[in-house]
A and B are shown apart, each in its own frame.
Chain A
Amino acid sequence: MASTDARESTGVFGPSRAQIPGKTLRDDRWWLAPLATFTVFTAFIVYATWRAFEGANYYRAPYLSPFYSPCLGDCVKGSSDFGQPFGWWPLSAALIVLIFPLGFRMTCYYYRKAYYRAFWLSPPACAVAEPHTKYTGETRLPLILQNVHRYFWYAAVVVALILSYDTVLAFRDENDHWFHMGLGTLLMLVNVVLIWLYTLSCHSCRHTLGGRLRHFSKHPVRYKLWTWVSKLNAHHAKFAWYSLFSVALVDLYIYLLAAGHITDLRFF
């Protein structure tokens, strides 16, 4: 962050530009969107950090919290469907796996827009001057690492598959009998659909499936896939928000169940 004097001699206040007072003449509520983003993301970060470090109340048969799935550490009985290869891990099991969905969202092209605007004010809104005097974008460490987004997308596909498996298991009751459905099952089902929509609408997915081609005409199947993903991609921001809420809601529901604050609403 630079001094006010430095800020006021460059950018829109530079010597060649029209001498117009104020960092913007916008009179609409341009600050509302970044403020809302900042508030919601901060609330999610606080909640997710607490839950990730808690290391408890993440499993209530048959429901496993998405923050802890797959549970690869020293997890409670019944929650590790893929074994416990990190059984020696002394901290919360969530910390082993959360890096993947977290990395996927942190490097996501939509989330980047949202947090660059809301947290770094670069810029806070269109045609509103940013407070920084220097700007190098994503050309240097650490932000050049945003280019690894596709690798987090590969991991996110695996995570989505595992969450789908968890959702299937949620159709069993606590005694492993099939044809059970509770409110937890419904919430997990909605969540996994939104997670898939978010994952498949990813820009890296769009590129990998067909966007990288120069000759659509030579790759009709990939072209078709690209057109489908392009339709989803237009709603990527929406899916990013919906799935953020749904994953937190599923975790909260399972926390309340596991901590004994509520009982599962059972449909059949």
Chain B
Amino acid sequence: MAYRLKMRIWRGDKDGGALGDYDVEVSEGEVVLDAIHRVQATQAGDLAVRWNCKAGKCGSCSAEVNGKPRLMCMCRLSDFDEEETITVTPMRSFPVIRDLVTDVSFNYEKAKELPSFSPPPRDADNKRRMQQIDVERGQEFRKCIECFLCQNTCHVVRDHEENKKAFAGPRFFLRYAELDMHPLDTNDRRELAQDAAGLGMCNITKCCTEVCPEGIKITDNAIIPMKERVADKKFDPLVWLGNKIGVRNKDNEGRTEL
């Protein structure tokens, strides 16, 4: 059943912009990205929007729908009342390029700062081995599609531009946690996570988890475990004393501090 949807879409660039009103025909079962495309096709051919897969897997169409960070392609119109006006704006944490498109290069800069996986030499048969339960542990983190909605909603950078230099953000804490839990990684990333990546700036208010379209428990399964690992290294006097007198967690042997 088709109906007319009232939309407000932010139009503009870094020099300024405003919310524009649109009235567009939509159908049952469509998503916000469909409505945006129809506006683009019928009323505003120059409307800039970044998208790719329309299936919630490429992470391109991140925006804010009625103020909430969402993937437009996973945001069903049936979740809204037909009379309701839907407001679509670009992500508010990143510099705007035009209309709904933002410059997300901050995230790629942060990715470059993160030392990559560093495995040990191969076994004699030229293989590396991991047990299945160790493989399974990191699978949740591999679901990340890099939509950067978590980065966008994190108040540490959303509300404080100056923190961007010192704060990697939840997407990369996920990566730090994945690698630090990885049995084959030879790097000890705990100091780096706390100091260079700014893990201590996170006050675990869980907005990253709330907006993750993949349902990754970023805070509970990555950030908090990483904070606890940092506490092992930097804030726990008993662990420090144990290290001094030779009582060590053998699980960490073979790792090099970064």
| Residues of A bordering B, CB below 8 Å | 10-12, 14-20, 24-28, 109, 112-113, 116-117, 122-123, 126-130, 132-139, 143-144, 147-150, 203-204, 206-207, 211-219, 223, 233-234
Q: Which of A133, A143, A206, A215 has the most CB of B within 10 A?
A: A215
Given known contacts A122-B155, A127-B69, A10 and B161 CB-to-CB distance under 8 angstroms: yes
Bound complex: CA A28 to CA B160 (Å): 24
Cα separation A217 to B152 with both chains bound (whole Å): 36
With both chains docked as a complex, state the minimum distance between the C-beta of B69 and any C-beta of chain A, in angstroms.
6
**A-B pairs with CB below 8 Å: how many?**
173
Measured in the bound complex, the distance between the Cα atoms of B226 and A98 in whole Å is 29
Are B159 and A123 touching (Cβ within 8 A)?
yes
> B116 an interface residue at 8 Å Cβ cutoff?
no
One of A15, A127, A148 near B67 (C-beta < 8 A): A127
A18 contacts B17, C-beta separation under 8 Å: yes
Q: Closest A-chain residue to B211, C-beta based?
A: A126
What are 26 pairs between A and B in contact, CB < 8 Å? A12-B158, A19-B17, A19-B18, A25-B66, A113-B203, A113-B204, A113-B205, A113-B206, A113-B219, A116-B205, A126-B210, A126-B211, A127-B68, A127-B69, A127-B207, A128-B67, A129-B155, A129-B158, A137-B201, A139-B200, A204-B228, A212-B228, A214-B251, A216-B133, A217-B183, A219-B251
Q: How far is the CA of A15 from the CA of B16 in the complex (A)?
A: 9
Categorize the interface residue count of chain B. Answer: 35 or more
The CA-CA distance from A113 to B223 in the complex, in Å, is 13
**Is the beta-carbon distance between A27 and B225 smaller than 8 angstroms?**
no
For window 133-178 of chain B, which residues contact chain A by CB distance below 8 Å?
133-134, 137, 153, 155-156, 158-163
> Are A122 and B203 neighbours in the complex by a CB distance under 8 Å?
yes
Interface residue from A11, A128, A136, A138 paired with B161 (Cβ < 8 Å): A11
